[in-house]
Amino acid sequence: MRGSATGLETFFVGYLVLWMVTCLAAMIVYARAPATFAFSRPEYRRFLLTPWKLATFVLATAGLTLMAPYTGDPTWDYVDALFMSALTYWGAPWVVGAVYLTVRRRLPWPQLFVAICLWLFSVSWSYDLYLVLRDGSYPTTWLANLLLSTSLYLPAGLLWNLDWRPQRGVTFSFLESDWPQAPPTAAFSRVIGYALLFMLMVSAEIAYFLVLSRG
């Protein structure tokens, strides 16, 4: 048993070092050409600050943060619920778009590396680091959290990329040549049905998690 515990500690130390080095590498890739990354540009901030996107972010963050201490999960508190929500809002729309555009060869491959690192930091590594600092040990829930948080991160990224264009109807912003730009028209009334589907999907996943954690 003692050897097994030591082995786990060695694994977690190695994993911590590995992802920290990976994050450093991603920061170096970004620093070499920051202007090529859409999330650095003022257009992306205007894209995120579209009123309906900001409103859904505030509502979702308030709900998750206020609910966190009552879930029965000791690793989920006000702090990590808040900063993981903020990281998702800021990063998920770009990550989803960047992955799609890289696969379609419309963005260079280094952007995919940075996007994957930002995704993993948002849904997992930031959570892991916070709990290491809070509790003094690596959380054994790291993998379960990674899977659950990713299942929320993807629909959030798609939700905040919803758009409507006169010639195309409802679409995703990253399919358009001017991505990321704030929608040229008041699109929310056109996309509200699709937005509700994504929000219901996320709500159902959170409800399922709550049932499991209390079961």
pLDDT at 210 over 80: no
How confident is residue 63, by pLDDT bands cut at 50, 70 and 90?
A: confident
Neighbours of 163 (CB within 10 A): 26
Q: Which residues of 33-51 are buried (b: 16+ CB within 10 A; e: fewer)?
A: eeeebbbeeeebeebbebe
C-alpha span between 166 and 135 (Å, rounded):
52
For the chain, give every domain's residue range: 2-214
Among 128, 123, 126, 122, smallest CA distance to 141 is for: 128
**Going by C-beta distance under 8 Å and a sequence separation of 6 or more, which residues neighbour residue 48?**
54, 89, 90, 93, 160
What whole-number distance in Å separates Cα of residue 106 and Cα of residue 104?
A: 6
The pLDDT tens digits of the residues spanning 97-147 come to: 999 999 999 999 999 999 999 999 999 999 999 999 999 999 999 999 999
Whole-number pLDDT of residue 1:
44
Averaged pLDDT for residues 43-72: 89
- Confidence grade of residue 8 (pLDDT, cut at 50, 70, 90): low
- Higher-confidence residue: 60 or 120? 120
Give the C-alpha separation, 73 to 62, whole Å.
Answer: 18
The pLDDT of residue 207 is above 90:
no
Query: How far apart, in whole angstroms, are the C-alpha atoms of residue 106 and residue 20?
Result: 28
Q: Which of 14-18, 51-55, 97-101 has the lowest mean pLDDT?
A: 51-55
Instruction: Assess whether pLDDT exceeds 70 at residue 54.
Output: yes
What's residue 109's pLDDT?
A: 95
Distance of CA 107 to the CA centre of its chain: 20
Tokens standing for 94?
Answer: 């770009």
Looking from the CA of 89 toward its CB, the CA atoms found within 13 Å total 22
- pLDDT higher than threshold 60 for residue 3: no
